[in-house]
Amino acid sequence: MTDPHLPLDFGVPADLERLRHDLRAWLADHPLPERPVDEPLPVFLHRWHRRLHSGGWVGLDVPREYGGRGMTALHQVAVSDELGACGAPGVPRIGYLAHALIEFGSQEQRRRLLPRMLSGDDVWCQGFSEPGAGSDLAGMNTFAERRPEGHYVVNGQKLWTSYAQYSSLCLLLARTDRTAPARTSVSAFVLPLDRPGVTVRPLRAANGDDEFCELFLDDVRLEESERIGAEGDGWPLAMTTVAYERNALDTGHLSKYGQLIERLRRAAHERRGTLPDGLLSDIGRCVVDYRVLVAHARRRTAERLAGQPAGPESSVDKLLMTRAEQRLYETALKVFPEELHEGGGEVLGDYFYSRAASVYGGTSQIQRNIIAKRLLRLPADRRA
């Protein structure tokens, strides 16, 4: 578990500690599998996904009729916390997709799609961003034309689609009205990636990873039954999806942060008198950042338990997470410069990935705009 001075407990249900105990016992009997050197990370994570599901640790807060365990967000948070604390990969990040389907999908879609999503039988990706519409989804141009026969024909391009080359289904956003504003003209679809007309092209990043892909759609046929919700429901579905994606409930990350924080605290104590005052102050700021994130995670958990859906407040979480993550790994590299040698250690890899935190999932600038408009209700033409 995390350092006792920085507890990540969320209290309440009497069965919560039993759940944690059961998971620890299960992990002892089902340790993290070895990853062959030549195995792509998504393939390894999918094997881990299937193993977690076999133990009943995926979809705890999804109703039983859709393949979950019918428990609460608090139980899923506890599982994520335990996995993060023991250094294992977390529960697959499909909760935000699952909740979008629960809220907007038909009963038939929920019963057909959710059990296979939770089990890993279907691997999903997210087709939102485009070359001219990244964080600003209102600028998307992908168009789904409804034909008289009742089906749709989709043309367009998606960008930054994570691990599409390893996925079987895509949650796709496309306009179904060329003239109406985005809030009423965007619809959502389930896109099988083996459908004729779909081309997936991985993008090789500077560090050699191929996490992101381009997605080309040329006269792709989608049936009306593959639309999620009514025409025009795509915008609220997208806002629901990104709100769950951005909130502070991924406590597997918080547990990992807590372990590095404790390592920094030990270094500050053991190297007292040798670390510069400025660096000690940076460590202190990291501790404060972490405590703030834990407080937000507790608050978001309480909101979920009360039945409150994720909303624009998650933009605050996203900004805080970005600041905390970037400062934490930047500080860690200063305290542990040996991580820079011999090809770099885990902290160096996490540092490089943290630099993108202010871009993926909606840029920090977009999050500030959301906070200004939807939380603070500032007029659009307000000047500083």
How far apart CA 218 and CA 191 sit, in angstroms, is 13
Q: Mind giving me the DSSP string for 316-342?
A: HHHHHHHHHHHHHHHHHHHH-GGGGST
245 in catalytic set: yes
Written as six digits, the tokens of 347 are: 């902290």
Nearest 5°: the CA angle 167, 94, 117 is: 60
Written as six digits, the tokens of 19 are: 């759940």
Identify which of 329, 264, 249 has the alpha carbon closest to the alpha carbon of residue 6: 264
Strand pairing class (212-222; 198-202) = antiparallel
Active site residue: 211, 226, 245, 325, which one? 245
Which residues, in sequence order, are bridge partners of residue 228?
A: 188
Contact 113, 170 (CB under 8 A): no
Contact 91, 50 (CB under 8 A): no
Identify which of 57, 171, 63 has the alpha carbon closest to the alpha carbon of residue 107: 63
Written as six digits, the tokens of 267 are: 């270094």
Say which residues have a Cβ less than 8 Å from residue 191's Cβ, sequence separation at least 6.
127, 154, 169, 170, 171, 172, 198, 217, 220, 222, 226
Contact 162, 214 (CB under 8 A): no
How far apart CA 62 and CA 115 sit, in angstroms, is 10
How far apart CA 17 and CA 214 sit, in angstroms, is 44
* Cα Rg, the chain, nearest whole Å: 22
Q: Which residues are catalytic?
A: 245
